[in-house]
Amino acid sequence: MAAPASPDSAATQRLVIENCAIATVDAHDTEYATGHVVVADQVIESLGAGKAPEGLANVVRRIDGTGHLVTPGLINTHHHFYQWLTRGLATDHNLFNWLVALYPTWARIDAPMLAAATQGSLGMMVRGGVTTASDHHYVFPRGSGDLVGAELAAAAEIGARITLARGSMDRSEKDGGLPPDFAVETTEGALLATEEAIDTHHDASFGSMVQIAAAPCSPFSVSTELMRQGAELARRKGVRMHTHGSETVEEEKFCHELFGMGPTDYFESTGWLGDDVWMAHCVHMNDSDIAAFARTGTGVAHCPSSNARLAAGIARVPDLLAAGVPVGLGVDGTASNESGELHTELRNALLINRLGAHKEAALNARKALRLGTYGGAQVLGRTAEIGSLEAGKLADLVLWKLDGLGHSSIADPVTALVFGAAAPVTLSLVGGRPVVEDNHLSNVDEDAIARTARAEAQRLARIAAEG
């Protein structure tokens, strides 16, 4: 995928940011203590130390970035937007007990609920510096209408790039799975609907705002047939593949009992390892599992807060990175990470991994920032467009305010961003267009989103209580 030729027509509009620190997260981790970024239409035209070049034409906006750090926009690689309506429930459960407690409520979701949840989940992340987000949606109750269309329309209003991982479940209790029978689709129905979502919405072009992935939910909620055929469908269509893997010891036990092998071997046997696949969690991986991911280029969405919330364990991120496995960060659904923010996951990834085997050498501030930016672009297959600040790439970037109370006494800006409090976002751009200004969403009314989300959460709770 090639970037369009450098824009240089009379209609080209330029935005200039100056006097800011810059962490490019390029291959050399290039940083500028005081530098500039020039955005031309949707791409980064130039960046570097000192002031912007003189004599630029059509500069429509010039921003003084004094006291700020510019980074690539954050990229969220795993979420379940719909869970925005079921936050704060089953707060003291492990994964399987939490799922069993919440499935009956989730199975009542409809299009207006999903739209409200999408704006809540996505709005919260975008306000905190996310410019590209992946959502794994796998609950499609019968008769619930066009949920994929409803979600994408709601997301478009906020203005971030989306990879919608069209999920599915077809292994219910009667087949030895975890979800109740009424919460699942048929195998054929799930495959047809996934293909339809790809045909209708997937855009592979440079600067695409919407991509679709094929995403059966997990080994304990999906038949082997759906895993196999889902992989075939994705590869026939040229889209990426996503699922949950190796999240808990209970899942590992389930795989051994049902399939006679661990999760990674099961994924390999069903076509689910490859450089077009990324998997959420990957907590319980032995050395040969990690080697298999590295050999095949399979990516990982690391979700430290959710893993802690559900007592799942600590993923071996330093070992994954050392083996060459692409690793991005994920919020995970907000029913298991109520804050729903990705910038705090930079910090949590660093802190939680230091509790593992590698101790203080596990991750540092720059590696954490890389996970949340370039690593995310790797697992979503978009490094040619996003994930680092380089001339010719899309102008997806965040201007973090670091001269306020929370950060002003931390000299190094990347340390301030990762180790410090969640930093305010003065400006966030997606393809050169603002999605956040002065710490508020640019394109939508946050109070209206909050009101609608509360009303839809109450409606969902009422319908679920009625059974």
User: Scanning residues 231 to 260, which ones bind Zn ion (CB under 5 A)?
Assistant: none
Closest Cα to residue 281, out of 243, 253, 255? 243
Rg (the chain; Cα; Å): 21
> Per CB under 5 A, which of residues 163..202 are in contact with Zn ion?
none
Cβ proximity to Zn ion, 282 vs 441, nearer residue: 282
DSSP secondary structure of 426-446: EEEEETTEEEEETTEESSS-H
Question: Rounded to whole angstroms, how far apart are CA atoms 193 and 210?
Answer: 17
Q: How far is the CB of 393 from Zn ion (least distance, A)?
A: 29
> What minimum distance in Å lies between the beta carbon of 216 and Zn ion?
13
Minimum CB distance to Zn ion, residue 413 (Å): 32
Q: Per-residue string for binding with Zn ion, 329-358, x by CB under 5 A?
A: ---x--------------------------
Closest approach, Cβ 306 to Zn ion, in A, equals: 7
Question: Rounded to the nearest whole angstrom, what is the least distance from the CB of residue 333 to Zn ion in the complex?
Answer: 5
Would you say 280 or 453 has its CB closer to Zn ion? Answer: 280
How far apart are the two ends of the chain, measured CA to CA in Å?
A: 49
> Interface with Zn ion by CB under 5 A: which range of 118-126, 182-190, 276-284, 418-426?
276-284
Q: Are strands 210-216 and 14-23 parallel, antiparallel or unpaired?
A: unpaired
Q: Which is nearer to Zn ion, 127 or 281 (CB)?
A: 281
Q: What are the structure tokens assigned to 21, written together? A: 């620190």
- Helical packing angle, 95-106 and 249-259, nearest 10°: 80
Residues 6+ positions from 315 with CB-CB distance below 8 Å? 281, 282, 283, 285, 300, 302, 304, 307, 353
Q: How far apart are CA 108 and CA 119, in angstroms?
A: 19
For residue 287, give the 3-state DSSP assignment: helix
What x-and-dash track marks residues 277-316 binding Zn ion by CB under 5 A? ---x------------------------------------
Q: How far is the CB of 218 from Zn ion (least distance, A)?
A: 8
- Give the tokens for residue 283: 């907590």
CB atoms within 10 A of CB 305: 24
Q: Which one, 32 or 272, has the nearer CB to Zn ion?
A: 272
In angstroms, give the least distance from the CB of 138 to Zn ion. Answer: 9
Place of tokens 């707060």: 91
User: Contact, 41 vs 357, CB < 8 A?
Assistant: no
Closest residue to Zn ion, judged by C-beta, is 332
Considering beta carbons, is residue 115 or 282 the nearer one to Zn ion?
Answer: 282
Cα distance between residue 418 and residue 421, in whole Å: 8
Task: With CB under 5 A as the rule, give the number of residues binding Zn ion.
Answer: 2
Taking CB under 5 A as the binding criterion, the range among 7-15, 261-269, 273-281, 372-380 that sits at the site for Zn ion is 273-281
Nearer to Zn ion, 68 or 302 (CB): 302
Rounded Cα gap, residues 245 and 274, in angstroms: 14
Question: Of residues 313-332, which lie at the interface with Zn ion (CB under 5 A)?
Answer: 332
- Of 14 and 80, nearer to Zn ion (C-beta) is 80
Q: How far is the CB of 377 from Zn ion (least distance, A)?
A: 20
Nearest distance from C-beta of residue 404 to Zn ion, angstroms: 33
In 218-370, beta strands by DSSP E? 241-245, 277-281, 299-302, 327-329
Q: Which is nearer to Zn ion, 332 or 345 (CB)?
A: 332
Closer residue to Zn ion, CB minimum distance, 222 or 414 = 222
Which chain residues interact with Zn ion by CB under 5 A?
280, 332
